[in-house]
Amino acid sequence: MTAHPSTSTNTNDTTTEAAPTDVVHVGGTWLRVAPAMFLLAWGGNHFTPLVHMYEEDGGYAVWQANLLLGMYVGGLIPGLLVASALSDRHGRKPVLIAGSISAILGSVLLGLGFTHFAMLCLGRVLAGIGVGVAMSVGTSWIKELSAPPFDDRANITAGARRPALTLTLGFAVGAAATGCLAQWGPLPEAVPYGVHGLLNLVALLIVVGAPESLPVSQRSSTHWWKGLRTPLIAHRTFIRLIVPAAPWVFGAAGVAYAVMPALVQEKLGEWTTLYATVLTVVTLGAGALVQNLVPGINRATGGRALIVGLGLMTLGMGLGVVAAVTANPILAGIVAIVLGLAYGICVVAGLIIVQAIASPQESAGITGVYYCLAYSGFLLPTVLAALLPVLPYSLSLIGLALVCLGCLGVVARAITRPW
């Protein structure tokens, strides 16, 4: 696979040549896409603070509740890969609209299916499709709207920072709103999902007015299933930097707001749902705050922001071992902050690398693959919960810390000696 050496510096120029010439340089068109993308992320994460509720009030086993948490990965992967191929052929807007409709249907099923495990699983899969569309198609759409002729003022990293921040805020606000509604509102098994569905309808009306960023002349002429081929996965940079680092992006988030509350729930009693909500918001809030700093971290470290993120990831996993042994809610909160910072740095640093090696035609596809790898880590809480009968959290977290340290070494070596 040959690299695209000019892409990292000339991506904006390429977009300028291929985009329509009659678009007004308003600089804020990406904000019309942001609400839909924000709410798709909301729909992916509003289940997280409710895990304890499904165990206590719904009578589901720990592994079932955690399976529901990770179930939307089953919709996420086709949402990432198939949606990106469809958007390369038909444009960004219709695919993102379809993803929003999927998310609304998912919330309907989740709101009605509290006592029906199969219905909950299907609802989570549909929510995952929406998140996958947001991450692949939404990221590419906002990236393209963050360059000329749509935006003359955005710097070269805006195309990575804006979608990553939108997603992170959606994940955080969704968890916060759902947790608060579940803790103090009526019908906690249904109302949070109803609120999300209604807001998604509003976002649909807004996104309809957003400009299409992929001109017909640049769209793929092949059938969408042929577009599933993503040759860039064989790119040396992708293999040596992204593959070992990406799974830790949401691996960190999953450990922070799914495993940490489980470690201390016996000390919290009826406040476990609220605590899980706070930890989710703290994790993603820390991630959101640090994301705009990633370009500066890259400059200060000579392009090594990914190493900084993985270093914090390893530290957070190590502190998680101590939290597992002590069952201390304050320490678990500190772990969430550290892992949140690691998540925020790694997700943007990885996107910057992916976008640097991709041409406009390859952007959606390789972004989808990147997020597939990133989201594979979100299955960690399910795996750790399934292992509990034979492996307590303290020991499994030691193993995670060691594996993370090994991945840090691989990435550090690749960046220091790229060839």
Each residue's pLDDT tens digit, 171-230: 888 888 988 888 888 998 899 999 999 999 999 999 988 888 777 776 666 665 665 667
Q: Using CA atoms, how far apart are residues 361 and 372, in angstroms rounded to an integer?
A: 19
Question: What would the mean pLDDT of 73-77 be, rounded to a whole number?
Answer: 83
Q: Using CA atoms, how far apart are residues 143 and 145, in angstroms rounded to an integer?
A: 5
Q: pLDDT confidence of 419, banded at 50, 70, 90?
A: very low
CATH topology for the 8-13+29-219+232-416 domain: Growth Hormone; Chain: A; (1.20.1250)
Question: What would the mean pLDDT of 264-281 be, rounded to a whole number?
Answer: 82
130-145 confidence digits (pLDDT tens): 988 988 889 888 888 8
pLDDT of residue 4: 36
Give me the residue spans of the domains in the chain. Answer: 8-13+29-219+232-416
pLDDT of residue 323: 93
Question: What would the mean pLDDT of 373-382 be, rounded to a whole number?
Answer: 84
Question: What would the mean pLDDT of 331-355 be, rounded to a whole number?
Answer: 92
Using a cut of 0.85, tell me whether the model's pTM lies above it.
Answer: no
Helix (H, G, I), strand (E, B) or coil at 387: coil
pLDDT of residue 377: 86
- DSSP, residue by residue, 235-261: -HHIIIIIHHHTHHHHHHHHIIIIIHH
CB 171 within 8 A of CB 44: yes
The set of residues, in sequence order, having a beta carbon less than 8 Å from that of 340 and lying 6+ positions away, is 252, 253, 256, 282, 283, 284, 285, 286, 287, 290
Q: Using CA atoms, how far apart are residues 407 and 392, in angstroms rounded to an integer?
A: 23
More confident residue, 62 or 351: 351
Q: Using CA atoms, how far apart are residues 66 and 400, in angstroms rounded to an integer?
A: 18
pLDDT of residue 371: 81
Residue 71 sits at the vertex; the CA angle it makes with 65 and 77, to the nearest 5 degrees, is 160
